Every structure is written in C-alpha cells, then in structure tokens.
Structure 1
Amino acid sequence: MQQDLYRLLQDSFEIFKSEDALVHINSSRALIVGDIHGNLEALEFILHIRKTLKCDHMVFLGDYVDKGSHSIQVLERVLKMKLREPEAFILLRGNHETREINRFNGFYDEILDEELFLQANQTFEEMPISAVVNNSIFCVHGGIPGPVGLENINKEEAFHFLWSDPSGCDGISASIRGSRPQCFGEDIFTEFMEKNDLSLMVRGHTALFTGYAWCFDRKMLSIFSCPEYVGKTNNASFALLKDNQLSIFVFGRTGNCYSLVRNNF
C-alpha cells in the first residue's frame, strides 16, 4: 500500500507542479466540494452524485486529510481521479495539506513513515491555491490576505489563502485560530472582488452545523463537506454550478448511509 501511495504522490507531484497557483476553469456544470477530512464514505457519496449529475468538472477546496479515520484512502482516491482526468478534477490546497498541521492531526499517525510523509507534503506544496470558474467565481480554501490582484497569487505565499476567515469587522483583524492567521472584513472582501471583476467567492475551512453559510450579502459561500465531523451531528454540503446558476446540496446520515437532506437553489 505504501509503495502504491508513494507512486501516486510522485505522479501527482508532476501534474500539480505544471499547474499555476490560480487555475482557470470554464464549465457548464461543475461540482464544488469543501473539506473532506478523511471521510471516505462522504467522498464516495459526493462522487456518486457527481456521476448522477454528469458534471464536467469537480473543484475540491482542500483539507482531504486529518481528523477522520481514512485520510490515506481519501488521498489515494482523489489523486487517482486527478491522474485519470487532470483537467476535470481540480484539487486545491487546504491548511491541513501542510506538514506543521498534518503531522499532529491524524494523517501522520496513519502513514507512520517519514519518507512517505515528506513525499506527501512535497506534493501538497505544489497544489494550486485557488481557482476561478467561468471568469466570475473565486474558489479557495480559506480566504484572502487583502485586496490583492489575482495575478499576484503564488504557491510560495499561500498561508493566508489557506487560513483566513471572513469577519464582521472591517479591515484585517486577529483570528481565534492563532497569532498568524487573520480575518478579513466586508470592505476588504468587496475591494478584492471588484478589483478582480468577480461575482462570488466559495470557500471551505469552517466546520458548519448546517453544512453551509452565506456571508457578505450572499456574495461569499462557505461549504463544509464532512458530515459528523469529529463526532458532531453536523450536516455537510457541496455546491453545483450549472449554467452559471448555483445550487447547494445538503447531506447527512440516514440510517447506515448518507443521503441528501435538501437542495437549496
């Protein structure tokens, strides 16, 4: 198993290295997926829905590993998809795709192999940071460092794109996540969106009881795709962009399997 994962990581490294920090996608039907956190069952459910909906593209917002019990299997699954359809599957980097976080939150405990762990994180470091769908929807794991231009996004300065959160306070403010992460207010968000001619931001990073939340006059959508996160009773969600119309699918456990709770247009 370790040899198979090592090869997957090496092959994926080359693909991610060839991709820019900001990926542009044109799609008539795209599925946008939030944090998975080692929940293989939830991932397989979303992939089943994707097949049913016949989506052209899937955009994952990061946090494939940690917290759940099947980080390696989730990682193998998404990397195999990436290798099979590199243009259709966009895998963005999350804050748990960093070695200082995934060493202590479950991923390393599954691997228990230093060489494999280092290869995984070298591969994570080459992942794209963000994506723009149909020239109007900005996808990212956390948020923004300020009203930066899209042309300035790079993989070497990814931290705030992976860690930032929206805030009810204007400007840049402190975060409860630690001393280095930060929050951005509606004024910063609006300036960023106008500067880059964007209409919507879709992000992950935040565990939500309902699975999703709107912010900033419904110009920002947060989604979280891991139900029952760390033993909680939360629902999860993912978004469908079809002909530039956005739908939110909410799902949770019914009996022994996951099923849709509702579809919000």
Structure 2
Amino acid sequence: MANDKEKDQLRANLAAVTPVLEQEGAVLSLNPKKTLIATDIHGNSDILDFFLKFGQEKDVDSWVFLGDYIDKGPDSIGVLNRLFELKLSNPLNVVLLRGNHETTDVNTYGEFKTSVSSEPDLFIATNTAFENMPVAVVLFGKIFCVHGGLSENESLSAISKTDSFAYLWNDPFDSKGFTPSPRGSRVKRFGPDVVKSFLKKNGLQLIIRGHITLETGVKFWFDKTLVSLYSSLPYSSPDVKAAVCIADSDAAEFFFYRKDKKKNDYVWENKPVKVLLRPSPLKESDAGNICVCGDVEFKNNGNGKSSGTENGNGSSSSNDSSSLNTNGRNGSNKKASDKKNVSFPSVSKMKSKCKKIMKGKQKSDKGKWKNKKK
C-alpha cells in the first residue's frame, strides 16, 4: 500500500503531466535514433527500473510504453510516479500510450483503486490524465505501436482519444476480417487481411502491440507483420520469459529476460530476435502519414523522416531532440553504463520546461514544422 508521501508525489506529478498530455494528439510520430518499447508493466516498479537501466546501457534516446501501467502488481503508484517524471524530463521523446487498464471500466475494480480508496479525488485526477494519453505512435514512419489492436476504420487520422476502444481492446486472430471476441460484445478480433490492408494503406511495415499475457515474451503474427509484446513476468517460473523491444529505422530487436531465483534478480538472455525493416521510401497514406504531437503536425516526406512547415506564428519544435537521460539532463558525457542508479528530476524544475516545449517555443534544428490544433 502506498504511503502518504507517494500519494502526494503522484498529485504533484499529475498536476504537471496532465497539461502536457492534453497537448498531445491521439497519434504521435517519433523519429529517434533508437527507442525502447515496453508494455503491460502492471504495477511492477522493480521491472520498470530494470528496463530503464537496460535502455541506458543500450543508449536509447526515446522511450515508448504501450499502456497497462497499473493493477495486478504491488506498486501502481510507484510506476506512475516514475513514468510521469520520465515524461516530464523529456516530453517529446517519452511516449505514454493508453491501455485498457487506463480506463475506469477496468481500473474501478483493480488494485490501483484499492490503493487510493480513501482518496477518491486522486483516483479521479489519475483517470483524467489517462483520458488525455495518446492512443498510438508511429516510429520512423514504419512501426505502428498501440496497446490493443486495429479498428474497422483504417485511417490514422480517424483515431481519436474519445473513441479509442478498439485500439485498447482488440486482438489479432487467424481468421480473416473482424470476428467476435470472448472478451466481450464490443471487442473484436482482426485477421491477417486486416493487418495487411492497414499497413499498405498507411505506408507502414510493422505493428507492435501489448495487451495479451504471454509466457514467451513475444508472439509473432502474420509473417512477422504484427508482434504481440509482453514485458512483465506473469509468473515466477524460471521457464517464463518477458521481453522489451529496441528499435531503430533498420530493425526491431526483441530482448528477453527472466527471473533468476538463485540471484533473486532479473537477467537478460543473450539471444534477441530481430525483425528487419525495409529501407525503401514509404508510400503516403490517405492521411499523408500525419501524426500529431500537441499543436504540431508531422508529415512523412517520402524518405521515412518527419517534416513539415511553420505557420505564421513563427514557432517550431523538434521531435528529434538531444538524447534522453533519465536524470533529466541532456548533454552529459557520462556513459550510461557508469550510472548505478536511475534518478529523476524534480517536478517543479521540469514544469516550466514542459510548457515551453509543448507550446512549440523551442527552435528546431531539424527543419520547420507546421503548427496545427488537433
């Protein structure tokens, strides 16, 4: 059970991060050098710290989390505090997608609700932040990341925060088209033809999603055009594995870990699995491969990189900012491997920085973007 100090910290983080999330669109676009993708952390703060250390060792400059941060595990509040502080330290290069546990339909009955049962205002404020989380992110103009699955509307521009049910709940299945799901009457299962059509229409190559508990860490679907990823260890058996993904513009590489009972610690295996991405220019979708982050509209310029133009207010921003350090300081020459502890900046120090970034007041060194309210 979280103590009062942790709850107060969550309140402060919510006050700072909710306006940042409000400025983000339903679909984001990110073109980093290297990103770590993880999902379904489910209240396991020790596992999250394990991922953060691994990302530092791999020199990632962005982080993408596919939802389901709370419930099941013992420390939902601790996970939220870490993730919100990471987001505040570098809002453009940390993506927090919404999962089905970030909805009141689910979390009203989960462990997180129990942990704040004496403070209903905190439960409401947390779900307000959840409601403002983006639904999906496109990486490198090639990878579509989402918690659940696809809807019958293939257009990226049709995805919205207020109508995101399919993207939080739907699952892949071997049958063609959309078929009923045992999860409930509103949930659908989608087949290989749906994935193929969606990728082709939007000029994409791969879908990475979470939502399904796996004892193997990943499951590849439809000739490796879709990957189910599960990043938490659902059981303590040494045979059970979980995984994260390290992706760049050339490949998505999946790394597996397990719990070593003798060491009483998590250990990485040395046999990652790689899915190669095509280097060829991507075909523009009916949405022009647009993805919106705050007031900024990103368009694919045909070479897999995001670009755009600036409107008359003279402001611009950058989705390829300097590399991320989890202590919130950019430009450090200290090697990630030298960092023994993962630390975060204070919320008060980052609050003003976030507002400036999300208002587009930082100058871009990667071209000019077009400001647009979504």
Relative to the length of structure 2, the TM-score reads 0.69
AA at the equivalent of 2:207? M
Confirm or deny: 8 A CA contact 1:92 1:129 kept in the other structure: yes
* Superposed displacement of residue 41, structure 1: 1.2
Per the alignment, in what secondary structure is the counterpart of residue 202 of structure 1? strand
- Matching residue of 1:207: 213
Confirm or deny: 8 A CA contact 2:135 2:160 kept in the other structure: yes
Confirm or deny: 8 A CA contact 1:147 1:189 kept in the other structure: no
Q: 2: CA distance between counterparts of 1:149 and 1:77?
A: 33
Correspondence 1:94 to 2:99: yes
1:174 to 174, 180, 199: 180
Confirm or deny: 8 A CA contact 1:10 1:123 kept in the other structure: no
AA at the equivalent of 2:272? N
Correspondence 1:240 to 2:261: no
* Superposed displacement of residue 153, structure 1: 0.8
Q: 1: CA distance between counterparts of 2:187 and 2:87?
A: 29
Correspondence 1:121 to 2:130: no
Q: 1: CA distance between counterparts of 2:144 and 2:189?
A: 17
* Superposed displacement of residue 203, structure 1: 0.2
Q: 2: CA distance between counterparts of 1:4 and 1:46?
A: 22
Q: 2: CA distance between counterparts of 1:161 and 1:19?
A: 17
* Superposed displacement of residue 243, structure 1: 4.2
1:145 to 151, 158, 161: 151
- Matching residue of 1:28: 33
Q: 1: CA distance between counterparts of 2:131 and 2:208?
A: 21
Per the alignment, in what secondary structure is the counterpart of residue 201 of structure 1? strand
AA at the equivalent of 1:154? S
Q: How many pairs does the alignment contain?
A: 264
Q: 2: CA distance between counterparts of 1:103 and 1:246?
A: 35
Q: What do you get for the CA RMSD once the two structures are aligned?
A: 1.3
CA gap 1:258/1:230 in 2 versus in 1, 3 angstroms: closer
Correspondence 1:196 to 2:205: no
Per-residue CA distance 1:83-113 (angstroms, 9 max, x = gap): 1111111000000000120111211011222
* Superposed displacement of residue 230, structure 1: 6.0
Per-residue CA distance 1:151-203 (angstroms, 9 max, x = gap): 11110111110000001111111111112111111111111111111100000
Q: 1: CA distance between counterparts of 2:230 and 2:151?
A: 21
* Superposed displacement of residue 264, structure 1: 2.0
- Matching residue of 1:54: 59
AA at the equivalent of 1:168? D
- Matching residue of 1:163: 169
- Pick which of 255-264 and 85-94 moved more: 255-264
- Matching residue of 1:75: 80
Confirm or deny: 8 A CA contact 1:28 1:244 kept in the other structure: no
Per the alignment, in what secondary structure is the counterpart of residue 156 of structure 1? coil
Q: 1: CA distance between counterparts of 2:67 and 2:250?
A: 23
Confirm or deny: 8 A CA contact 1:67 1:230 kept in the other structure: no
* Superposed displacement of residue 242, structure 1: 3.0
Confirm or deny: 8 A CA contact 2:140 2:248 kept in the other structure: no
Per the alignment, in what secondary structure is the counterpart of residue 272 of structure 2? strand
Per the alignment, in what secondary structure is the counterpart of residue 162 of structure 2? helix
AA at the equivalent of 1:221? V
AA at the equivalent of 1:17? E
* Superposed displacement of residue 211, structure 1: 0.6
- Pick which of 179-188 and 133-142 moved more: 179-188
AA at the equivalent of 2:259? R
The structure number with the bigger radius of gyration is 2
AA at the equivalent of 2:91? P
Per the alignment, in what secondary structure is the counterpart of residue 101 of structure 2? coil
5+ residue gaps, structure 1, are: none
- Matching residue of 1:257: 265
- Matching residue of 1:13: 18
- Matching residue of 2:328: none
Identity fraction in percent: 36
Per-residue CA distance 1:68-94 (angstroms, 9 max, x = gap): 111110011000100111111100000
* Superposed displacement of residue 205, structure 1: 0.3
- Whichever structure has more strand as a proportion of its residues is 1
